Amino acid sequence: ECALNGGALPTMRKNGARIARNGRVKRTHSIPITSRVLCTFSSNDGDASNPNDDVKERDDVKERDKSKGQSMEADEVAREQPTSPKNWEKVYNSIRAMREHGEEAPVDLMGCERLAEPGVAAATMRYQSLTALMLSSQTSDPITAQAMKNLQVNLEGGLTVESVRTASAATLEKLIYPAGFYRRKAQYLKQTAEILSQRYDGDIPANVTEMCKLPGVGPKMAYLCMQTAWGRSVGIGVDVHVHRISNRLGWVNVWRTQL
């Protein structure tokens, strides 16, 4: 808004806008104008009579906008604070009691945390845990377990970073078949083994960020691997089953993945 005292109107720029001689404001680029600009011109020569007042007004508006933004962010954080579902402990304990007296599921016997060979070196155990998780995508537990056994028994030197790195892709494909996307997974295994050999001295990354940089490894695998391989719980691996069951129990009400 401009308070005009008569006289010719010069062209000025304020916060990414051009104030033309006819008094109309024209945008000159995409930065939004978020504050009011008070312009006072003299009636004689068109020069600004008090530019310091204009600067002070602009700074005051910026400060108010900043304070308002911080208040809105604080309110948003407060609204997003998680709350525990009602009766979640009762439901959880009931499920545990049911599982204790029910039949064992394949994941109880062949989950990825159970597929590393006992007695191997710590780094090898961690690598085998990661390999099991990489094979498990779009693959049932029994098939994942069989693929792991094939690799452990048939690769020269057992299932290690070096044995996978030196094996041919065709050999890996044959050993992990019929795991889902077995051809692609064979490539991922070879690429990952090369990276681990060169950058991690044959071990696996010790954090989620670095682990997710490996071919074929996503957040779910990384969180599970941190727990099974490194013994650290840094997040929850959520797949379609966790998502579906959590909704059916009434613990959440989200039927589309929130990214």
Residues serving a catalytic function are 220
Instruction: Say how many CA atoms lie within 13 Å of 69 toward its Cβ.
Output: 7
The residues with which 189 forms a beta bridge, in sequence order, are none
From CA 123, how far away is CA 203, in angstroms rounded?
A: 5
Q: Which of 63, 16, 21 is nearest to 41 (CA)?
A: 21
Q: Report residue 246 as tokens.
A: 């959590």
Enclosing H/E stretch for 12: strand 12-14
Enclosing H/E stretch for 161: helix 161-166
Q: Is 103 left (phi over 0), alpha (psi -120 to 50) or beta?
A: beta
From CA 166, how far away is CA 156, in angstroms rounded?
A: 9
From CA 39, how far away is CA 73, in angstroms rounded?
A: 32
Q: Report residue 132 as tokens.
A: 């099991």
C-beta neighbour count of 32 within 10 angstroms = 9
CA distances (Å), origin 216, targets 17, 43, 130, 246: 49, 71, 11, 26
